[in-house]
Amino acid sequence: MAKWLLMVLLATGMAGQVLASSASLTLVAVGDVNMNRHRTEVREDGMNLWGKVVPFTQPLEKIREHLKGDLVFGNLETVVTDRNDIPPSDKTYNFKMHPNGVRELMKSGFNLFALGNNHVIDYGDEGIRETLKWMKTLAGKKKKKLWYAGAGLNLDQASEPAIFTINGIRIAFGSVSISKPATAKRGGVVSVHKPDTALQKLKDADVDLRILSMHAGEERNSTPAAVQFRTARTAISKYKVNVVLGHHAHVVQGIELYEGGLILYGLGNFSMRGARNMGSVPEFRGVRDFGLLARIRLEMDKKTREIRFAGVSALPVYDMHSGVRPFRKTEDAQARIEALNRLSGASHLGKKSNGLTFQFKDGWGRWLPPSE
């Protein structure tokens, strides 16, 4: 029927009108990204891996082919600086990464970063200042495809969304987090416990698609915390957010549709040199030892400007602490998609949740909306 209809449209010259009535966008999303260890000096030629300096290309070599989309998102879990003279804050872990690491991420496809997390404050306000300086430099005067939000030297700056257009779709991106809240006179992030400043700016933006990065939850816990449910669902129901991209727990959490919006509660680690090998923890194997690369297909009706989800694919990844890659064995990848389906069920997201169920094929979990 669909083939016959397309032939009729082609014959009558109406196919172009139908195809032109909608716009589409592919959003690729991963979790935490950092290419340096705790309190390790930054260097322009690469990162430290088991006592050796390897180029910034190394952690991405086995995953780069999958980093293809109109938007490629990651949570930049670090300060960005070329300096080694900034004193660290009084924290258990302090991360900083050379700007060349971000350059390599951009070459690999990344163009959207969350700065709102608990490590952008690792070197105080000076570290935040350095990070913002370098992100602006990397974006360039002519504004290359690089957008970011979530940290600032005051609350107004931290809550300001990135606003841009791709494929005719107007987009606003904001970021909230656990960590030191910014104030009128102090640097930091927009607290996930008081996110209204950032959420209101997203709602007020004259855009079609609103994306929120949410850095929150209990580390190594696959069940979202109460603040994650509250923030993500409120962002959709009250502030017109379409997609919530969650991270921080370092393990994968479930995915659900909520009142027309899509929530990925936890994408896990992606390329996180500062984290441990999750596969080395016996009780994590098979259930909490992987990260996700999610590919979200969105469509927008040009007349109504309404956004719909045309499909979601999930690729489980491994070795996020060294050189992130897809699972080599089909059965290993399938076991992680089965784990994702359990995490998206009622036992983790609640009885009234609308968790996605993924069908496994060719190493990926795939979800399509029900046929209307």
**Could you tell me if 345 and 338 are in contact, meaning their C-beta atoms sit under 8 angstroms apart?**
no
The Cβ-side half-sphere exposure at 98, using a 13 Å CA radius, reads: 15
Integer Cα distance of 248 and 234 in angstroms: 19
Can you give the pLDDT of all 372 residues of the chain as single tens digits? 444 444 544 455 544 544 579 999 999 999 999 999 999 999 999 988 778 899 999 999 999 999 999 999 999 999 999 999 999 999 999 999 999 999 999 999 999 999 999 999 999 999 999 999 999 999 996 667 899 999 999 999 999 999 999 999 999 999 999 999 999 999 999 999 999 999 999 999 999 999 999 999 999 999 999 999 999 999 999 999 999 999 999 999 999 999 999 999 999 999 998 787 887 888 888 889 999 999 999 999 999 999 999 999 999 999 999 999 999 999 999 999 999 999 999 999 999 999 999 999 999 999 999 875
What is the predicted pLDDT for the residue at 51?
80
> In this structure, how many other beta carbons lie within 10 angstroms of the beta carbon of residue 162?
19
Give the domain ranges of the chain: 29-367
What is the predicted pLDDT for the residue at 2?
47
Integer Cα distance of 62 and 167 in angstroms: 29
Integer Cα distance of 49 and 368 in angstroms: 39
Integer Cα distance of 106 and 112 in angstroms: 9
Q: What is the 3-state secondary structure (H, E, C) of the chain?
A: CHHHHHHHHHHHCCHHHHHCCEEEEEEEEEEEEECCCCCCCCCCCCEEECCEEECCCHHHCCCHHHCCCCEEEEEECCEECCCCCCCCCCCCCCCEECHHHHHHHHHCCCCEEECCCCCCCCCHHHHHHHHHHHHHHHHCCCCCCCEEECEECCHHHHCCCEEEEECCEEEEEEEEECCCECCCCCCEECECCCCHHHHHHHHHCCCCEEEEEEECCCCCCCCCCHHHHHHHHHHHHHHCCCEEEEECCCCECCEEEECCEEEECCECEEEECCCCCHHHCHHHCCCCCCEEEEEEEEEEECCCCCEEEEEEEEEEEECCCCCCEECCCHHHHHHHHHHHHHHCCHHHHCCCCCECCCEEECCEEEECCCCC
Q: Which CATH class is domain 29-367?
A: alpha beta
**Could you tell me if 66 and 105 are in contact, meaning their C-beta atoms sit under 8 angstroms apart?**
no
Q: Are strands 243-247 and 261-264 parallel, antiparallel or unpaired?
A: parallel
Integer Cα distance of 47 and 36 in angstroms: 6
Integer Cα distance of 325 and 332 in angstroms: 13
Integer Cα distance of 86 and 71 in angstroms: 33
Q: What angle do CA 233, 176, 367 make, to 5 degrees?
A: 50
Left if phi > 0, otherwise alpha if psi is -120 to 50, otherwise beta: which for 303?
Answer: alpha
